Amino acid sequence: MKNLFKKIGALLVAAVMVLSMCTAAFAAVTGTVIQVNNATGADLSYIQVIRPNATKTTGWEFCSTSIASKYTEALGVTDDQVAIQKLINNAENKADAATSSQIETALSAVISLGGLTKSNNPISVSNAGVYAINAADTTGKWSYSPMAAYVSFGTYDTATGEPTALSVEPVNAKRTPINITKEVVGNNDNVTEIGREETYKVTSSVPYIPLSKTENRYYKIKDTITGAKYVTTEENGKNYVTINFTMGGVNSQRKAEVKENADGTQSFVLDLSDLVKDEKGAASNAKANVEYSFTYNATVTDIKVNNHIIGYDGENEQTPEFGGGDSKLYTGQITLTKYASDEDNDNLTDNVKLANAGFKMYKVTGNDKKWAKFGTFGTDYKFIEWVNEESNATEVKTDANGTLTVKGLDVEKNGIEYFFKEVTAPSGYSLTAQDASATLKLGENVEKATDTISAGTHMIDTKLSSLPSTGGMGTYLFTIIGVVVMAGAAGAFFISRRKGSEE
């Protein structure tokens, strides 16, 4: 990106061409427009700060005494023409030149005076000179620095030598991102599952940092994650996350050390300070406003994931001076309620709820069942992983209220059906042959999850048939039946013996 302040100086160099021109000739010059690039969504305003004056030693003058005072103060001089000459020297790389930081300071001071004219983009102008331009963001994405445009005499009448038209090159907006776009690659609905490895993508632009900031000139990105762990590699006893960085179509790989924080979160700091300096380490805005992106991986460990990122100047890692953003992921949960059957009561909610009913959960993938392993999560169960064998699955049990809740499950827009197989019946009840099921899905017309997705299901157990008690009526009944059977058998035996002796 060309240095806009050198364009200001270039304007002053053109004094040689305008010294012989009169003010009346300038009025006949055809106007032009100033196009401000990279300013979509910004409200523009402008003010002319330098204009031609053939009577001045440099051929130029400031447009007002207040503007002149801001420039002379910023450049450390007392004479207007000396200040303008310093601007010319800057453009020609001569000694005793105004520095870029001094020019930036002067522009900011002039903008603060007010009196600017609002304009659409491009800005229509009718006079040669230097214009200070201010941009106010309306999108909540950018912070703009004051800009300058040099409007020159573009064409001349070959007969009179007088200028006939103005010319100006487009201005590239000087802006700093105030937000950072963060997304999970391939995940458009904000749902995930414990144990899943997700790829995060960060997109932003290199900030414009005033060249006056030469000491502690840093640009760093701090990323903090909750509910997940970065995928890392170990090197010399430290863990590093791999960063796949892309800028200007060029891919490279960086790394950042992962820090374990006292609150259970993890974080890393990616140092991008080389993007705001030149090869020799001097302050540079050559890459300002250039978009970049990078990706890294993290594994989900909890029922919600929050990933927070900020860009800062290396001095205060809590202040998002260069933008910030969040990415949140959510999981699903299912609550199963176990009831006792009651043929005399059609209202299920009035039925007795059964504790200590044991279940194993599974889902069907293709023709196979995948069984769930869980860990405890307070009084609930937190999903860990899917296994192929039922014997390796975790048995989860209803609590004293007859319910159990499993968390950390995947959710799909079209729904995922989960099944509960009863493997342990409460005392006095039989196992239920029909598995219970529940479906986790996003609601109608809901594109992205904004909280945990919940579903519920239930199962009814049947009481075991009653058995006769010892010494009760059942004992007498069996005794009578037994005596009758024994008597019949004895009678048959004697009759058969008698027939045998008669023969």
Q: Name residue 457's amino acid.
A: T
* Distance from the Cα of residue 222 to its chain's centroid: 13
Three-state DSSP at 195 gives coil
Tell me whether domains 177-326 and 332-463 share a fold: yes
Let me know the angle formed at the C-alpha of 227 by 224 and 228, rounded to the nearest 5 degrees.
75
* Tokens 């899905």 sit on residue: 441
Sequence-distant (6+) residues with CB within 8 A of 230 are 239, 241, 258, 266, 268, 296, 297, 298
Let me know the angle formed at the C-alpha of 168 by 107 and 28, rounded to the nearest 5 degrees.
105
* Ranges of H-type helices in 141-285: none
Structure confidence at residue 22 (pLDDT): 40
Question: 35, 122 in Cβ contact below 8 A?
Answer: yes
What architecture is the 177-326 domain classified under in CATH? Sandwich (2.60)
Question: 131, 107 in Cβ contact below 8 A?
Answer: no
Structure confidence at residue 87 (pLDDT): 87
CA-based nearest residue to 181, from 334, 22, 335, 295: 295
CA-based nearest residue to 111, from 133, 130, 127, 128: 133
**Cis before residue 122, ω within 30 degrees of 0?**
yes
DSSP state of 480: H
Cα separation, 214 vs 221, in Å, equals: 19
DSSP state of 488: H
Three-state DSSP at 231 gives coil
Cα separation, 259 vs 238, in Å, equals: 9
Structure confidence at residue 262 (pLDDT): 96
The DSSP H or E segment spanning 289 is none
Cα separation, 192 vs 408, in Å, equals: 8
Tell me the two tokens of residue 244. Answer: 């796949």
Domain boundaries, the chain: 4-173, 177-326, 332-463
**Number of H-type helices and E-type strands within the chain:** 7, 33
pLDDT 10s per residue in the chain (503 long)? 345 445 545 544 443 344 334 444 444 678 899 999 989 999 999 999 999 998 999 989 999 999 999 999 999 999 999 999 998 888 788 999 998 888 888 999 999 999 999 999 999 999 999 999 999 999 888 888 888 898 888 887 777 777 888 999 999 888 888 888 999 999 999 999 999 999 999 999 999 888 878 888 999 999 999 999 999 999 999 999 999 999 999 999 999 999 999 999 999 999 999 999 999 999 999 998 899 999 999 999 999 999 999 999 887 788 888 988 899 999 999 999 999 986 545 555 567 899 999 999 999 999 999 999 999 888 899 999 999 999 999 999 999 999 999 999 999 988 999 999 999 999 989 999 999 999 999 988 888 999 999 999 999 988 876 545 444 455 555 556 665 666 666 565 555 655 555 55
Structure confidence at residue 92 (pLDDT): 84
Cα separation, 56 vs 78, in Å, equals: 16
Cα separation, 194 vs 188, in Å, equals: 17
Structure confidence at residue 276 (pLDDT): 94
Structure confidence at residue 36 (pLDDT): 95
CA-based nearest residue to 135, from 124, 126, 151, 148: 148
Q: Name residue 459's amino acid.
A: M
CA-based nearest residue to 10, from 111, 75, 89, 70: 89
* Tokens 């791999």 sit on residue: 242
Q: What is the rounded radius of gyration, in angstroms, for the C-alpha atoms of the chain?
A: 41
What are the E-state strand segments in 216-277? 220-226, 228-230, 232-235, 238-247, 250-260, 266-271
Question: 146, 111 in Cβ contact below 8 A?
Answer: yes
Question: 44, 51 in Cβ contact below 8 A?
Answer: no
Structure confidence at residue 177 (pLDDT): 82
Tell me the two tokens of residue 72. Answer: 């002379």
Question: 83, 164 in Cβ contact below 8 A?
Answer: no
What architecture is the 332-463 domain classified under in CATH? Sandwich (2.60)
Tell me the two tokens of residue 362. Answer: 């599974």
